[in-house]
Every structure is written in C-alpha cells, then in structure tokens.
Amino acid sequence: MRADRLVALLLLMQARGRVTAAEVARELEVSVATARRDLEALSTAGVPVYPRIGRGGGWSLVGGARTDLTGLSAGEARALFLLLGSAASVPDEVRSALRKLVRALPQTFRADAEAAAQATMTDPTGWGDRDRLRPAVVDVLQTAVVRRRRVRLTYVDGARRPSDRLVDPWGLVDKDETWYLVAGTDRGQRTFRVDRIQHAEAIDEPAGRPDGFALPAAWREVVGEVEQRRSRTWATVLIEPRFVRILHDQFGRHCEVDGEDGGRARVRLGAPTPLDIARTLAGWGADVEVIEPAAVRTELARIGAELSGRYPSPS
C-alpha cells in the first residue's frame, strides 16, 4: 500500500541523506515512475524533500531539528501523519508501524503527530462526482484541526447562497477526491463540502471537540444519513456491459450490477427521486432501457416530449 511505502521511503532518506529515484525503486521494489511520484507526494505534503539537479543529484531531506530515533523534525512528523491520514483507514501492519513511529518521537512532537494522524481519513467510494483538484483551503483546515483552532469561513450552500460561519474543525475526509470538513457549529455537528468554501482562516481561539470523538465513526454516521437521502428511489436498467463503468461514475455507490439479460448488463441505480434518475439517463437515449419503476419511464417520456417540443425536427 502507498502509505506503507511512504513510511519506508522517509526512513530510508533519514538513513542515507540523499537518494535517487532509481535507488528508491530498487529498495522498495517499485517502478522508477512510482518512486518519483512517492518522492513528489512527500514534498507536496510539506515534508521538506527536495530534488537536486545535475551530477551527484538526487533527492535530499533538508535539515532542521532532529530526533534521536527517527530523524524527524516536528513539522516533518506532522506532515507525514497528515499525508497518511487516519490510522483507521490503513491496514493493520501500517497502523502498527504508525504506533511505533509515534512512540519513537520526542514528547514535544508526539501530541501534534497523534492529532495529525486523526485529522484526516480516506473514503475511496465516491458519490458520483469528484473535485479532482485538491482545494487550496485543505492545508489551512488540516492545520486548524491539528492545532485545535477555530476557523472562520465563507461557505456557499447548494442554492449558491454565501454565508459566514465560525466552526470548530474536527476532521477532514477525502472521499474519492472530493473533500469534506466535519465540524462543530452552534447548531451541532455539520459537514461542509470543501470545494464550496470560498475562504477559510484559522483564528486564535481554541476549538471545542466532544470527548471521545473519532473521525471514522462520525463519518460513518454522515454517510449513513446521506445514503438514505440519496437512495430513496431505485431503478433497474439494461445497458451494454461496456457502459457500466460510465454509469458507475455517474451514480457512484448507487450503481449495482444485478446480473445479465440477453447480453446486456442488468443494473440497479439509486437517487433521491425518479426525476433525478431520469435526468441523468435522458442523455443516454435508446442506449439504456429502464425496466422499472414506471415513474422513471414516465419522467423520461416527459423529458423527451419537452425536448421534441423545444427542438423540432428540421423536416
């Protein structure tokens, strides 16, 4: 897993001081291209790893305060644990390595490292849409979560109405390249899509957090509530198997293959209303056949009639 490699890569650089992508590839048994991507990932995460161009070049970990056991500075330790995300989101062997690494850190570094390990988590199953580009405010929010500082932000809701909020940031979730902030507000726990945050600024006020708060458990509750709202209507459709992947991109986890029928894939699709399903399927034309429910077929017929009326045939 990538998290396991990143731990090994950082410790390898601590031991050698300078490495080349070819050396990393050989030591970690990966391709040179993968080694370069991992080195760039450490640099992007804030770990001071820099390439040196020319003869005798390679990648080096720039100085700073060092620990006796790991060679990590406070900032490096925090950046590494932020990059790896919540320990609950990685395999047991990686979680064990993280615990050992935390114990190896000086006491002055340990609190930040442990907070960073719980600041973010990854949920690989999407809801059918992606940011693809990591929002710039993620760095501000991550630091606020680790430092337990309140955040003043400007947020645009689903109706595109901006509002100013003062929140206690509890954790960040990368859900298939779309980021979400779980935070406390004066109305209780709320979840914000990070790509709708126009501005975020940490202020010098301590952020509150419920005793025993765990980001994975809180996120499971959020997902459960959203799934209920997003899957109130289910439709069964027939489509060529080669198009199933595209349907999955459109409907996310609400796309389930349910067998085969006459050479076509039988797929179940979920959405809040029949109209939501029909709007997405209308662009497929005759390439998709809706078997049930009748409400979705009715909405498709209505959309088709509206389009025919708006754009009559030239003949």
How does pLDDT run across 122-131, given as a tens digit for each residue? 776 666 565 5
Q: Where residue 31 falls among pLDDT bands split at 50, 70, 90?
A: confident
pTM more than 0.85: no
248 and 284 in a single domain? The answer is yes
**Amino acid identity, position 44:** T
Read off the tokens for 171. Answer: 């954790």
- The confidence score (pLDDT) of residue 300 equals 95
- Which residues are within 8 A (CB) of 173 and not within 5 positions of it... i.e. 6 or more apart? 120, 121, 122, 123, 179, 180, 182, 215, 219
Please name the helix (run of DSSP H) or strand (run of DSSP E) that holds residue 222, with its range, or none.
helix 215-230
- Which residues are within 8 A (CB) of 232 and not within 5 positions of it... i.e. 6 or more apart? 270, 271, 272, 273
**pLDDT per residue as tens digits for the range 220-233:** 888 888 877 767 89
180 within some domain? yes
**146-150: average pLDDT:** 89
Mean pLDDT of the chain: 80
Name the residue among 56, 44, 48 with its Cα closest to residue 20. Answer: 56
315 within some domain? no
129 and 147 in a single domain? The answer is yes
CB atoms within 10 A of CB 86: 23
- The confidence score (pLDDT) of residue 66 equals 42
263 within some domain? yes
Q: Which of 93, 118, 143 is the last residue of a domain?
A: 118
Q: Is 91 helix (H, G, I), strand (E, B) or coil?
A: coil
**pLDDT per residue as tens digits for the range 237-256:** 999 999 999 998 888 878 99
**What are the backbone angles phi and psi of residue 267, rounded to the nearest 5°?**
-130, 140
What's the domain count of the chain?
3
14 and 114 in a single domain? The answer is yes
91 within some domain? yes
169 and 250 in a single domain? The answer is no
9 and 107 in a single domain? The answer is yes
**pLDDT per residue as tens digits for the range 79-135:** 666 655 544 445 555 556 665 566 555 555 566 666 666 677 777 666 656 556 778
Q: Which of 226, 254, 275 is the last residue of a domain?
A: 226
68 within some domain? yes
- The confidence score (pLDDT) of residue 84 equals 57
Q: Which domain holds residue 272?
A: 231-309
